[in-house]
């Protein structure tokens, strides 16, 4: 073997040994941390701490000087923490299935690979799984940059006693998958309605005559295309999982297409200094300016509102709306606590859904 190459590999071997020793040391300390938590009276057996994880990931990215990207460094650190936590308490995560959906990719991005992820058939099932303790946490889509809100998630959030413990943002890159080997051979395309909407220009240009059939999820589309022929629009992860050919990649109209997912659970993460708070409220009926008055304290205190969505209150005799509001900051911050007190007093209905770290990457 070339001497230079052999020398470089010897250096890599030596570093791998050090990295491995350090990872093992880290894992032992994580086990110690679990015992400390138990001694401090935490008998839940759940040692997951979203705020601490966000801080570790942010710090790893700040330290990064290349050549790996910040995201790659965060993903590596994510897997190390995931493996360490699984020694303490392996987490059960319910997500919107079947396997191969973008929600599964969000589970992996947020929790890493060392968790037991269970696909659920519908969004309400995920909420029930976490409420009943069948799962420790749930992952649900909440909004897409092109397709807008996921109304089932907002409707469940209005009713649940669960808390939002985190968020994940995932760039969505659609592929055309098939058992065929060329785009020209495709006569039928299966996909989720939102994915069709997100790939409209590409489909009009490349497959204007193909018949489109809407199904419940991208992963289901892949299963049908695998069985019946034709193609599915889905992510790269589904191609790998179901052994399909990728006939075209990045077929979405907007390259910045992103979906935001929420982590739901039973705990309130502590402040990290870079947090989001989500609340849901209804305004007093027949009161001119009621919504304006609810939003005014946020503006006065310079609180950055990042999102406001409305959904009709189900079953209400008179048309009534839930307003879902996200803003920067943590509910335990005294300034925010006082604004929330004011808003709670002025609203007809008010609930804090959770304060949680902003997605670290
Ligand atoms: O710091 C803790 O509380 C730990 O349990 C350790 C650790 C880690 O590996 O860094 C593991 C899991 C938690 O979710 C957060 C961090």
Ligand 1 centroid, distance to 47 Cα (angstroms): 7
Kindly tell me if the per-residue pLDDT of 316 is higher than 80: no
Contacts of 157 (CB under 8 A, 6+ apart): 164, 262, 278, 280, 324, 353
Highest mean pLDDT pick, 155-164, 212-221, 283-292, 312-321: 155-164
Kindly tell me if the per-residue pLDDT of 261 is higher than 80: yes
Q: Could you tell me which of 203, 238, 241, 240 has the C-alpha nearest to residue 221?
A: 238
Q: Phi first, then psi: what are they for 251, rounded to 5°?
A: -90, 5
The distance in angstroms from the start CA to the end CA of the chain is 41
What pLDDT sits at residue 287?
Answer: 87
Fold for domain 269-357? Answer: Alpha-Beta Plaits (3.30.70)
Atom of ligand 1 nearest to the CA of 80: 9
- What confidence category does residue 53 fall into, taking pLDDT thresholds of 50, 70 and 90? very high
Contacts of 149 (CB under 8 A, 6+ apart): 142, 143, 309, 311
Task: Provide the CA 123 distance to its chain's centre, in angstroms.
Answer: 13
Mean pLDDT in the chain? 95
Q: Pick the residue with more confidence: 286 or 160?
A: 160
Pocket test for ligand 1, best of 24, 46, 81 (most atoms within 8 A of CB): 81
Q: Phi first, then psi: what are they for 283, rounded to 5°?
A: -90, 160
Q: Phi first, then psi: what are they for 7, rounded to 5°?
A: -65, -45
- pLDDT digit string, tens, across residues 262-276: 999 999 999 999 999
- pLDDT digit string, tens, across residues 102-148: 999 999 999 999 999 999 999 999 999 999 999 999 999 999 888 78
Q: Is 259 a catalytic residue?
A: yes
Indicate the SS3 state at residue 314.
coil
What pLDDT sits at residue 105?
Answer: 94
- pLDDT digit string, tens, across residues 335-355: 999 999 999 999 999 999 999
Average pLDDT over residues 319-329: 95
Per the structure block, which two tokens stand in for 211? Answer: 């018949």
Ligand 1 centroid, distance to 269 Cα (angstroms): 13
| CATH 3.30.70.260 segments of the chain | 269-357
What pLDDT sits at residue 203?
Answer: 97
**CA dist list (Å): 185 to 70, 174, 190, 224, 229:** 40, 19, 15, 17, 10
Answer whether the bond into residue 67 is a cis peptide, omega within 30°: yes
- What confidence category does residue 170 fall into, taking pLDDT thresholds of 50, 70 and 90? very high
- What confidence category does residue 234 fall into, taking pLDDT thresholds of 50, 70 and 90? very high
Residues 166 and 93: their CA atoms lie apart, in Å, by: 13
The CATH code that applies to domain 1-89 is 1.20.59.10
Kindly tell me if the per-residue pLDDT of 318 is higher than 80: no
Ligand 1 centroid, distance to 232 Cα (angstroms): 39
Identify the active-site residue in 196, 261, 323, 361: 261
| CATH 1.20.59.10 segments of the chain | 1-89
Q: Is 261 a catalytic residue?
A: yes
What pLDDT sits at residue 216?
Answer: 85
What pLDDT sits at residue 125?
Answer: 97
Q: Using a 6 Å CB cutoff, which residues line ligand 1?
A: 30, 33, 47-49, 52-53, 56, 81, 84-85, 88
What pLDDT sits at residue 317?
Answer: 75
Average pLDDT over residues 49-57: 98
| CATH 3.40.190.10 segments of the chain | 175-248
Interface confidence: ipTM more than 0.85: yes
Q: Which residues of 191-205 are buried (b: 16+ CB within 10 A; e: fewer)?
A: bbebbbebbeebbee
Kindly tell me if the per-residue pLDDT of 1 is higher than 80: no
Average pLDDT over residues 309-326: 89
> Would you say 127 and 160 are in contact if contact means Cβ atoms under 8 Å apart?
yes
**CA dist list (Å): 170 to 105, 206, 229, 248, 337:** 8, 26, 29, 20, 30
Q: State the pTM of this model.
A: 0.93
Average pLDDT over residues 68-92: 95
The CATH code that applies to domain 175-248 is 3.40.190.10
Pocket test for ligand 1, best of 47, 77, 79, 93 (most atoms within 8 A of CB): 47
Atom of ligand 1 nearest to the CA of 37: 3
């Amino acid at each position: 073997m070339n001497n230079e190459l052999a020398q470089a590999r010897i250096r890599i071997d030596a570093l791998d040994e050090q990295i491995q020793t350090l990872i093992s040391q880290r894992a032992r300390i994580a086990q110690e941390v679990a015992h400390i938590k138990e001694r401090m009276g935490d008998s839940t057996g759940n040692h997951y701490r979203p705020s601490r994880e966000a801080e570790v990931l942010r710090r790893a990215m700040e330290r990064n000087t290349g050549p790996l990207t910040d995201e790659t460094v965060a993903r590596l650190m994510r897997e190390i923490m995931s493996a360490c936590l699984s020694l303490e308490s392996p987490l059960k995560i319910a997500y919107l299935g079947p396997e191969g959906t973008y929600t599964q990719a969000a589970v992996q991005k947020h929790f890493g690979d060392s968790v037991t992820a269970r696909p659920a058939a519908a969004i309400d099932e995920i909420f029930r799984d976490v409420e009943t303790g069948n799962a420790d946490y749930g992952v649900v889509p909440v909004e897409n940059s092109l397709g807008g809100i996921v109304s089932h998630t907002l409707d469940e959030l209005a009713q649940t006693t669960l808390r939002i413990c985190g968020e994940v943002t995932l760039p969505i890159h659609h592929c055309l998958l098939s058992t065929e080997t060329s785009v020209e051979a495709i006569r039928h395309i299966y996909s989720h309605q939102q994915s069709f909407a997100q790939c409209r220009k590409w489909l009009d240009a490349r497959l204007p005559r193909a018949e489109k059939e809407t199904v419940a999820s991208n992963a289901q589309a892949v299963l049908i295309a695998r069985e019946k022929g034709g193609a599915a629009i889905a992510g790269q992860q589904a191609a790998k999982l179901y052994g399909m050919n990728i006939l075209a990649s990045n077929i979405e109209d907007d390259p910045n297409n992103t979906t935001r997912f929420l982590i739901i659970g039973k705990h309130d993460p502590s402040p990290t200094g870079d947090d989001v708070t989500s609340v849901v409220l209804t305004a007093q009926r027949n009161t001119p300016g009621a919504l304006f008055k609810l939003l005014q304290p946020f503006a006065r205190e310079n609180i950055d509102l990042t999102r406001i969505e409305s959904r009709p209150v189900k079953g209400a005799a008179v048309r009534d709306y839930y307003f879902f509001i996200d803003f920067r900051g943590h509910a335990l911050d005294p300034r925010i606590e006082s604004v929330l007190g004011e808003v709670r007093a002025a609203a007809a209905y008010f609930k804090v859904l959770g304060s949680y770290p902003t997605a670290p990457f």
